[in-house]
Amino acid sequence: MSRITFAQSLSDARLMADAVKANEEKLVADGMPKDTVEVLTKTIALMSDLDTKQEKLKAELKATTASLEAKSIELSQVMTATRQRVKLCMPKESWKEFGITATR
């Protein structure tokens, strides 16, 4: 059994809201709460807004992750170059002070 997508769910809800609105008088007479159309409409609008916000946050997360990965590569390169410079300039006994555990 296939799962209904979020977009399909919203589309189905909009279709339901439109049909209920068109037949509200008969449905209310048969016991449907009077505010059903209003509740459906507000809930659909809220869900649509929340989906938009979520998609924006996903895009921001993707951009932030890319920036973080780029900075991580940059830091690694600087650390490698600095480690090499320390090994060339400083005596082996002081390497530990810089966090270098290699002895070569």
pLDDT tens-digit profile of 21-30? 999 999 999 9
According to the model, what pLDDT value does residue 1 have? 60
Q: How far is CA 16 from the centre of its chain?
A: 29
DSSP state of 96: G
| Residues 47 and 24: beta-carbon distance below 8 Å | no
According to the model, what pLDDT value does residue 64 have? 98
According to the model, what pLDDT value does residue 87 have? 93
Spell 34-57 as b/e; 16+ CB within 10 A means b.
Answer: eebbeebbeebeeeeeeeeeeeee
According to the model, what pLDDT value does residue 2 have? 75
- 3-state class of 90 per DSSP? coil
Would you place residue 35 in the very low, low, confident or very high pLDDT band (cuts 50, 70, 90)? very high
Q: What's the chain's average pLDDT?
A: 94
